[in-house]
Amino acid sequence: KQEVTQIPAALSVPEGENLVLNCSFTDSAIYNLQWFRQDPGKGLTSLLLIQSSQREQTSGRLNASLDKSSGRSTLYIAASQPGDSATYLCAVGAAGNKLTFGGGTRVLVKP
Amino acid sequence: DTEVTQTPKHLVMGMTNKKSLKCEQHMGHRAMYWYKQKAKKPPELMFVYSYEKLSINESVPSRFSPECPNSSLLNLHLHALQPEDSALYLCASSHPGRNTEAFFGQGTRLTVV
């Protein structure tokens, strides 16, 4: 059974600092990995999708890497802003279009 | 348009009530999903519909009954719920297949009293 872990569970940084969020998974037989942002009480906003054949994906200040063999993905957010404060979730996609989520990292960017 | 619309945004229901949650998308996605999210926990998959047919039921109690009347709509019918069923219910959609991005709605906050 796939297990997805995100460490740390919470992170607080001053504005302008780069953010590094980690995601690990136990079963490397994945189709893709997706990073989401969730604001309190709200739905999920898709940030990046990395296909299983890709090593990296970039969108603006966001960069995500994927190392399938070691079961790891990292989300980098450059030059953090207070508006980046949210919970970030990684989810591993597998057969049947099933997404298995990590527990999330709660990020606070202090002005 | 990458929007998944869920209604209502909030719902309070008694344990003897029958209610329905609705989800709509117009992205041409043929896979639609229901997830349940408890406070400070990650979303957990409940149901997957692929081409309007139920393909995955994650051993969800029968008091939750999904329905996919057409390729744009997904419903979740609720009956005789328990207080522990109170949660944020999220709908998502994607193209079926290996490398497709899932898009989520804003959720319905359900409280069972």
Q: What is the pLDDT of residues A29-64, one digit of tens each?
A: 999 999 999 999 899 999 999 999 999 999 999 999
User: Which among A31, A42, A97 is the nearest to B107, CB-wise?
Assistant: A42
- Supply the pLDDT for residue B1: 62
pLDDT tens digits, B41-58: 999 999 999 999 999 999
pLDDT bracket for residue A97 (50, 70, 90)? confident
B96: which chain A residues are within 8 Å (Cβ-Cβ)?
Answer: 97
pLDDT bracket for residue B97 (50, 70, 90)? confident
A43: which chain B residues are within 8 Å (Cβ-Cβ)?
Answer: 4, 6, 90, 104-107
Give which of A94, A93, A108, A81 is closest to A46, Cα–Cα. Answer: A93
Cis status of the peptide bond prior to A8, with omega within 30 of 0: yes
* Number of other residues whose CB lies within 10 A of the CB of residue A85: 18
Rounded to a whole number of angstroms, the distance from the CA of B59 to the nearest CA of chain A is 14
Distance CA A107, CA A57 (A): 21
Residue A83 CB-density burial (10 A; 0-12 exposed, 13-18 middle, 19+ buried): exposed
Compute the average pLDDT of residues A96-108: 93
Instruction: Kindly tell me the number of DSSP H helices and DSSP E strands found in chain A.
Output: 0, 11
Distance CA B10, CA B12 (A): 7
CB B42 within 8 A of CB B110: no
Residue B100 pLDDT exceeds 90: no
* Chain B residue whose CA is closest to A94: B98
Distance CA B84, CA B82 (A): 5
